[in-house]
Amino acid sequence: MATTENTTEKAPAKKAPAKKAP
Q: What is the pLDDT along the chain (22 residues), one digit of tens a residue?
A: 455 555 556 655 566 565 655 5
pLDDT value at residue 7? 55
Terminal CA-CA length for the chain: 12
pTM comes to: 0.12
Nearest-5° Cα angle at 6, 8 to 15: 40
pLDDT value at residue 9? 60
Please say whether the beta carbons of 4 and 22 come within 8 A: no
pLDDT value at residue 11? 56
pLDDT value at residue 5? 58
